[in-house]
Amino acid sequence: MRTPHLAGLLALALAACEPQGLQITDANTPPASAPAATPVDVSGCSIHVEKAWIDQETPLRRYTTEAQTIGPTCQQAVAVLVIRASEGSPVYTWSGRTQDLMGLYDISDTAAMKTALTDWIDQSGAMLSTTADLPEWAETDGQPGRTEFPFMPESWVDKAAWDQLRKDKLDMFCFVQGRESMNCAVLRDGQMEEIGLQLFPG
């Protein structure tokens, strides 16, 4: 009569000693897999535009400008500028955050960004198209005749180099590179070189 009672107590004791939450699985049951990582979408503001800069028949000189944004959103994107020679070789590259560029920093729509990128590289109405358009040395930043929108030459450019640039009338590509300045690079012998910034109110 006591055997069933002892068997029940033994079963209860064994249950109490079993670790709580322990799951016993078949050896053939595969372990639960960890949740897959969510991929980051970097195509949210992937836009590319291009425009001819110099298209000259005689002598033959052709350069194309490309602009691209890369980022999950247009406000988190990087803007890339590339100028290529006719055979495709890049002669100038530049990149910066769209958040730092006037005309791009407040755009969130991809269609609007495409239009803005096209305007960013458009040189058709540029006031500084060649180095002959540069102001006189006396009007540059830090000089007595500083203008309202002064040009800030690179540190290697002195008055003699500046005057020579103006005399050479080199093709020049200027583009917004911040909220208060424009970067200018000149084309000389198939290569491009930055010569300074033009400042303007942001």
Structure confidence by residue, pLDDT tens digits, 119-135: 999 999 999 999 999 99
pTM of the model: 0.77
For a pLDDT cut of 90, what percent of the chain falls above it? 73
What are the DSSP calls for the chain, one per residue? -HHHHHHHHHHHHHHHHSPTT-----TTSPPPPPPPPPPP---TT-EEEEEEEEEETTTTEEEEEEEEEESSSGGG-EEEEEEEETTS-EEEEEEEEGGGSTTTTT---HHHHHHHHHHHH--TT-S-SBGGGSPPGGGSTTSTT--SS-EEE-TT--HHHHHHHHHHT-BEEEEE-SSSEEEEEEEETTEEEEEEEEE---
| pLDDT at 178 > cutoff 50 | yes
What integer pLDDT is reported at residue 6 of this predicted model?
A: 37
What integer pLDDT is reported at residue 200 of this predicted model?
A: 86
Structure confidence by residue, pLDDT tens digits, 40-92: 444 599 999 999 999 998 888 999 999 999 999 999 999 999 999 999 999 99
